[in-house]
Amino acid sequence: MKISLFALLVFSLSFPPALQAQLPAIQQIIDAVNIDSMAWQMDRLTGQVPVNVGMGNQVIVSRHKFQPGNALAAQWMQQEFTRLGYTPSVQAFGTRGENVLVEKPGLVHPERKVIICAHYDSMPTGLTGPGADDDGSGVCAVMEAARTMADHDFENTVVFALWDEEEQGLVGSAYYASAAFGNDAEILAVLQMDAIGYDGDGDGLMRIHTRPVGNSVAIKDSALMVNTTYGLDLPILINNPGATYSDHASFWNQGYGAILVIEDFDNDPNPYYHTPNDRMEFMDLAYWHGLSKLTIGTTAAMAIPTMGTAVASASASIPVFEIYPNPARNVLHIRFGSDPAGSASLVITDATGRNVGQAWPVGSPDGTMQVDVSELSPGAYVASFHAGSTIMSKRFLRLP
């Protein structure tokens, strides 16, 4: 599983302060990520504290495919999602596999999905397999994402997915991704967390694995922007081409954009990996907290909060504001009805609120203009007219 990969060390991205902006909803979600909440979940997921799914107290001793704790964990996770106000579902596959899924429908584009995910099965094959770091750390972060995002609305659908049988060859995620592709599902982004809690040398380094598949590189870029825009400032190593040893690869195999968020497994591997001692006591909780915040914040940014992204107001000087085609590939056409008086400009921002293009001066006798968007990464953007104190904004999608 340890593979020599090309890595680019990225400590931060340097954008002029004026080109960065925080969306309040995303900041609120990041700030709400609570390490005590995740540790509470981890104690139960790894057998330190019993769970009760209606049959009295039981202990999840191992989540290995062939151990009873696997099915018990699936029941308990469904119970937890229900407690948070969701309606979980189970996607059964094979002879015993169960993916646990929750969908939070988007209010504008419910057909477009952003998936935050982890695998809940564990190793080794014996009777004891707590699997705290691999991959209880990811599972608890997914459940924390569900908790922190519960009271927020998004344009796109958010899927909280917990895969089964990753350790047998990415079986659960492969089943989901294949079915999604077969049904022409529109998946905008997949963010897989696998082993995000161990930092043995204390250097704080983490990795994001990406590949030039779909919009995977753009998803990585969004994570880097969240890291800087929202003040997380985590030291990040980029693996491109990334490894294929976790569930994100199931989506690459179907042509979907995906990234893997993981600890520095290449140079600082967890010595308790796949052993009965993979327990929370050997994890770095502050490190786990940071990687969880980054992934949850990036998920929120890709899903696009329905409030706080743009401001629209009536204006006598700009009575019409239209953009077409939408989605666009190379050229975005703008119609604003008349030549606006005074200084006016067009600004394009990405899902994190960062200005990704110059401010074009607006001024045309026929009230139209064309903007080349071919250099933008595929994804969601906001085009805004700025004229004095007036801002008129519309969202658009840039296609590959």
Domain boundaries, the chain: 7-303, 322-398
Rounded to whole angstroms, the Cα distance separating 281 from 289 reads 15
Q: Can you give the pLDDT at residue 318?
A: 42
The tens digit of pLDDT for each residue in 242-296 reads 999 999 999 999 999 999 999 999 999 999 999 999 999 999 999 999 999 999 9
- What local confidence, expressed as pLDDT, does residue 366 receive? 63
- Is 322-398 a domain of CATH 3.40.50.300? no
CATH number of 7-303: 3.40.630.10
Only one residue has tokens 């899902």, namely 351
Q: Convert 238-295 into a string of H (helix), E (strand) and C (coil).
A: EECCCCCCCCHHHHHCCCCCEEEEEECCCCCCCCCCCCCCCCHHHCCHHHHHHHHHHH
Tens-digit pLDDT profile for the chain (400 aa)? 323 333 333 333 323 222 245 788 999 999 999 999 999 999 999 999 999 999 999 999 999 999 999 999 999 999 999 999 999 999 999 999 999 999 999 998 899 999 999 999 999 999 999 999 999 999 999 999 999 999 999 999 999 999 999 999 999 999 999 999 999 999 999 999 999 999 999 999 999 999 999 999 999 999 999 999 999 999 999 999 999 999 999 999 999 999 999 999 999 999 999 999 999 999 999 999 999 999 999 999 999 898 543 333 333 344 466 777 877 888 888 776 555 555 567 778 776 666 776 555 555 566 677 888 888 888 778 787 766 656 677 777 788 7
Peptide bond just before 269 cis, omega within 30 deg: no
pLDDT in tens, 201-235: 999 999 999 999 999 999 999 999 999 999 999 99
Residue 12: per-residue pLDDT? 30
